[in-house]
Amino acid sequence: MSNATRILTACAIALLVSACASQIDEGVVREAGSPGFLWGVWHGFVFPFAWIGSLFSPDIAVYAVPNNGGWYDFGFFIGITVLGGGSFFGSKKKSKG
């Protein structure tokens, strides 16, 4: 399979999976002091542990709701990316020699 085909397939799968996403209920109101960027970074760092814990306990969540929106999401993304080593951006091509 060519590189372009793999990228298109990955994008198609991501689009299909993202179509299943839902927004939080409008009844959930943001409060003053809702988790922001730094809490998002922290929750991104501890995501693997929180996810494993959430499999065994319904009281453990991997994502804070309500939060302050985009900045929390960005921090969460940064936390997961840094913990994962940014493997997508740091990958190296194999040399043919």
Question: Residue ranges of the domains in the chain?
Answer: 3-83
Mean pLDDT for the chain overall = 79
- What tokens were used for 76? 């969460």
- What tokens were used for 60? 């453990």
* Percent over 70 (pLDDT), the chain: 71
Tokens 């997508």 label which residue? 88
Q: Which residue has the higher pLDDT, 27 or 35?
A: 35
Asked whether residue 90 carries a pLDDT value surpassing 80, the answer given is no
The pLDDT assigned to 74 comes to 92
Give the separation between CA 72 and CA 64, rounded to whole angstroms: 9
Q: Is the pTM of this model over 0.75?
A: no
